[in-house]
């Protein structure tokens, strides 16, 4: 099972990008995302963005992750 935290694209340079979420930044590839834009939320697997998420869904997911983090 894979659990993924949505990442917001904050830098894009060709197919290389930086995503940020919950205070962490990750390098990733956006080869599989059609026309990635700064501010897009994506789900990443094995270093590749595999799906774009609507902002509303991404924010709901992040809120749930924060609840989990705070419960630990």
In this prediction, residue 6 has a pLDDT band, given cuts at 50, 70 and 90, of very high
Output the CA–CA distances (angstroms, integers) from residue 12 to 7, 33, 50, 51, 52, in the order listed.
Answer: 13, 12, 15, 16, 15
Residue 1 has pLDDT above 90, yes or no: no
Q: What is the pTM of this model?
A: 0.89
Tokens representing residue 35 in the block: 């026309």
Q: What is the pLDDT of residue 33?
A: 97
- pLDDT tens-digit series, residues 16-71: 999 999 899 999 999 999 999 999 999 999 999 999 999 999 999 999 988 988 89
Determine whether domain 7-71 maps to CATH 2.30.30.140: yes
Q: Rounded to an integer, what distance in angstroms lies between the CA atom of residue 53 and that of residue 42? A: 6
Are 51 and 42 within 8 A, CB to CB?
Answer: yes
Burial class (CB in 10 A: 0-12, 13-18, 19+), 46: exposed
């Amino acid at each position: 099972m894979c659990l993924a935290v949505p990442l917001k694209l904050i830098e894009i340079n060709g197919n290389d990008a930086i995503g940020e979420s919950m205070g962490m930044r990750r390098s990733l590839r956006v080869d599989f995302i059609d026309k990635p834009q700064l501010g897009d939320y994506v789900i990443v697997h094995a270093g590749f963005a595999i799906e774009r998420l609507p902002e509303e869904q991404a924010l709901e997911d992040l809120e749930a992750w924060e609840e989990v983090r705070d419960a630990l």
